[in-house]
Structure 1
């Protein structure tokens, strides 16, 4: 295998009283795909930010290709041969693939206007594709591309710098379908064959055995284990147990006992919105969870937004506790007792530059205010502290900007907003995207707890998630509702209903 291409020794980092990394030991071999695992708050994100030059280590050493390096900015990491593709790549939708790849590194032609040399960009992109053989048309705009094609553009953008040896991929499959994920893995195999070493961060543990050569587990700010995939298979290792440091119990909480559901809280009748979905109808009772399974383009996201007033419905009825409400805005929905945990927490669920203390009371300003709409600051802080404790936010700080938290902990802040809302109806869209196995179990338990006093809907493109958490299920396929002939779907029937529009055995 040869000497490691990347070696970290006794790397430590503190943020005030919080020890994020504690003498981490890590190495990456040439041409290796290495999975980096750990629950939210284990130190993975901090370690990757140090390797990317975003955060500076307090102590320890890092060497690349045998040379000790010191990063004060991302440019230093790139010059040393380390490139990172973030979980949410920042691409310009209206620009072509090749324009995005060389954004900020364009070649300019002569002339007063300093126009970009388009031919030069195309030639450089062609050379890059010849090296890495990525099957993609870079002449299209990013807005015209699929999710996996956008990921490929971000990867090529990272590799466009000279002498990149190490590529860091942060949760690259979190928003991909199974087919797109397989396409990404083919691309990763191409890069591996070209000698690119990759650090692959994921919470999808089943993927580790499919694509990685080895893995490391972070826990409590330390690297507690490193193992090859072959050895892990031979020993029957449980990745979840290694991440948690204890045996993993049932991820999903017990379902409601048959016949124990209370009165109908939410009724949806013949709801339609253009081409997105049509004639959707269902009831949700207190004490139960309704699961809705649908792939990208099924209409699930649009349905959730229509109920929440963020997208207009052309016809139909929405009733809460027997009274008709047709929210024209999220404000109307919140006033009617409807709360949405959106699928894209970064753009739709949080003010990322603001703290948890700012974000949490936004869901219920009436509760946050006293007479004359004056904010009750002490009460808000007490409530926010109680709710962040309930969702197990880590670190448990109310003063860190939401952007400073891992994806899983950002989701916990959105959940704390939901608790603060004291709603009658909760709609969760993709509630555990980018969330580790341990946090997932806590989120499912919280969803079940909310269902004791509210109507709860979970919409997800993860069939196992919907089937595991819900008491009743239905599927959406191209905007059309698919229901079981009787009772509820089996797991396979639910999957077929969402994929093909029919509940096949």
Structure 2
């Protein structure tokens, strides 16, 4: 294959921090190339240089053998490079067609310069003929499933005919296995059309499923590049390349079923069409895992337990007392804290700094009797919690929008630790978090479970099975019996749990 992108000796420094130290990276035409590394390894900086967001300090970039300077996002687009961010900025109330051509509506002639909807629709049809994929572009984006929103963002990036390099940043982080298959189908279609794809992911199992090659970044340098076949044949450990050490066990050892008192229980819990008939029991000193794919009711269950949604059936007890939460405030007062799955819209105030976000969930602790904030005390508390969760970079005055997705998740968890709750609910706790940070967060959850009750709700079967002392599976809103004599059942095999969550198979 011919080289479409060649980067040599790329350096970038931010003050005293050397983000990239002489990086070489190449991409072949029609290649899917995975870019891997823990948070802070340098891959995001490289991508932002390619996208025209940052300018390189040193080095050379060639596209199709021609030297280019990518001083702005417009310059990157003109050079044939398009980027789809982890959280695409789409307009929910507009249709797929309207989002694809946002900013390029092809105004029809006339006094009021109306949008040329016919031309937009024809251009969208041309795109679908070029890249066949099953999607209803007349539906509003806000009503689309996650995979269709991702496809709309990709088509928006490819509306320019001359795009040669497509960068996909964590595109599968919120997708089900079925939705991921649809996205991979589109990626292979793009590959067959000669478009090269740089694929950023923390889901290492996907590398061997979709990538032709992968490159590992560590400490601002690319430390290894292998074809997927070569890595498989040589039994290369990607985690060890990323961490520069033996990865060891990702999950801490389970201590066994908690022997403490039951601090949370539910019987026959239901919430509309989302889920029904859920029984569960959480004891102090254990981790209870709930596995279910997107749309299984897991997200709604987490919100019912936190008072953000009201159940229409069943009974919920906290420390033996029946509770009917009017909202999250009641749940917080009862000692429950939710680390939500959507950190950007439900967990953080993106424009505020780390200290604000860490302490905002417990203003009674963060302020004096008269309402004035304990500025120095809050700073000290935040510094300790930021160290506990391994925040990088350690800059508490930064707005959280300036941190990577994995570090944003660490800030949400620090916020929960500041609350000092009795019951912690972690919904999709490691979306966008690299393997090194995940191991640290898993150990933190296990330590937390020794004094509190912890519920982990995730669409990642391995995560639930690896962490939990007992498990519950939801399939299309219904709990699946996994054996055992009490709610939550026992700890089944990984395959039993997977079958229960994706097919509703009973153990």
TM-score bracket for the superposition, by shorter chain length: over 0.9
Please give the secondary structure, in 2, of the residue aligned with 1:62.
strand
Q: Deviations over 1:441-489 (max 9, x none)?
A: 1111111111011111011111121111100111122222223232513
Note the C-alpha offset of 1:402.
Answer: 1.1
Q: Which moved more, 1:244-253 or 1:435-444?
A: 435-444
Partner of 1:427: 425
Q: Deviations over 1:5-36 (max 9, x none)?
A: 11222222223333222222111111111100
Aligned-residue CA RMSD (Å): 1.6
- Does structure 2 conserve the Cα–Cα contact (< 8 Å) formed by 1:494 and 1:503? no
Note the C-alpha offset of 1:82.
Answer: 0.4
Partner of 1:298: 296
Partner of 1:161: 160
Please give the secondary structure, in 1, of the residue aligned with 2:254.
coil
| Residue correspondence of structure 1 range 2-41 to structure 2 within 5 A | 2=2, 4-41=3-40
Please give the secondary structure, in 1, of the residue aligned with 2:370.
helix
Q: Deviations over 1:88-143 (max 9, x none)?
A: 11222222222211110111112222111111111111222222223333233223
Question: Which residues of structure 1 form unaligned runs of 5+?
Answer: none
Partner of 1:345: 343
Structure 1 runs (4+) deviating above 6 angstroms are: none
CA distance in 2, matches of 1:132, 1:282: 46
Partner of 1:490: 493
Partner of 1:70: 69
Partner of 2:407: 409
CA distance in 2, matches of 1:369, 1:149: 45
CA distance in 2, matches of 1:123, 1:433: 37
Question: Which residues of structure 2 form unaligned runs of 5+?
Answer: none
2:467 to 451, 469, 473: 469
Q: Deviations over 1:351-371 (max 9, x none)?
A: 111111110001211111123
- Does structure 1 conserve the Cα–Cα contact (< 8 Å) formed by 2:475 and 2:502? yes
Q: Deviations over 1:167-204 (max 9, x none)?
A: 00111111111121112111111111111011000111
Say yes or no: does 1:212 pair with 2:211. yes
Q: Which moved more, 1:268-277 or 1:416-425?
A: 268-277
Partner of 1:239: 238
Partner of 1:326: 324
- Does structure 2 conserve the Cα–Cα contact (< 8 Å) formed by 1:423 and 1:454? yes
| Residue correspondence of structure 1 range 43-54 to structure 2 within 5 A | 43-54=42-53
| Residue correspondence of structure 1 range 455-466 to structure 2 within 5 A | 455-466=453-464
How many pairs are equivalent? Answer: 502
CA distance in 1, matches of 2:272, 2:176: 25
CA distance in 2, matches of 1:178, 1:265: 34
| Residue correspondence of structure 1 range 377-388 to structure 2 within 5 A | 377-388=375-386
CA distance in 1, matches of 2:316, 2:288: 16
- Does structure 1 conserve the Cα–Cα contact (< 8 Å) formed by 2:175 and 2:294? no
Please give the secondary structure, in 2, of the residue aligned with 1:371.
coil
Partner of 2:444: 446
